Amino acid sequence: MRYHMAFLLAALACPLPRAQAEPARASLCNADEEVLFTCRSGSAKTISVCASPDSTATTGYLVYRFGQGKQTPRLTYPTAPIPAQDAFKFAQSCSAKGCTEQLEFSVGNFKYTVYSDHFGGVADPAEDAGVFVEKDGRNIANIRCTDPLAPIDMYLIGTPSDPKAATRHFVGLPVGEPRSLGPGMDEVLSHP
């Protein structure tokens, strides 16, 4: 009996091998940035939305990056740090079943919408997250996430409904209503 107890205590004192831990998700965020959204797409590219630690609607910055691994991202927006309110629009809608978040920005005649639909905190990446691309008002790509999302923290881009109850850092962009991302692109991202 003593042998079994000593073995049990020794086993509890030793940590499990790291191989059993969940691997870290790849992102294009710098080490000093907060990862608000990241996933891999079917084209082996990574989609990331990152925030500076001091980001608010008027200070610090948000940045979108799209690219592959350690290479220079194919797209970084904005290219220089500017206040989030000058670079992005944010929309969110929640119900008892889950939430939809959309972060929208434009580069020339291209409009990009990073989106995440999650239900009970879980997103089906093949259908519910990615980046939607339009050119001159026409749909040209829906780059969907193919791996599990980690993290799904885009809600932190908006303004908390009760700032006194907020336990996490919120950027504080005004929250608009999400638009339909599909064939009927006549709806627009609306803001109060």
Residue extents of the structural domains in the chain: 31-176
Question: pTM for the full model?
Answer: 0.76
CA distances (Å), origin 21, targets 42, 126, 171 = 25, 24, 31
Q: How far apart are the C-alpha atoms of 162 and 60, rounded to whole Å?
A: 22
pLDDT in tens, 126-162: 458 889 999 998 999 988 888 766 556 777 888 877 7
Contact 61, 84 (CB under 8 A): yes
* Residues 94-127: tens digit of each pLDDT: 887 778 889 999 999 999 999 988 766 555 554 5
CA distance linking residue 109 with residue 155, whole number of Å: 27
pLDDT, tens digit (0-9, with 9 covering 90-100), for 6-60: 433 333 333 333 333 334 457 899 999 999 998 888 878 999 999 998 888 888 8
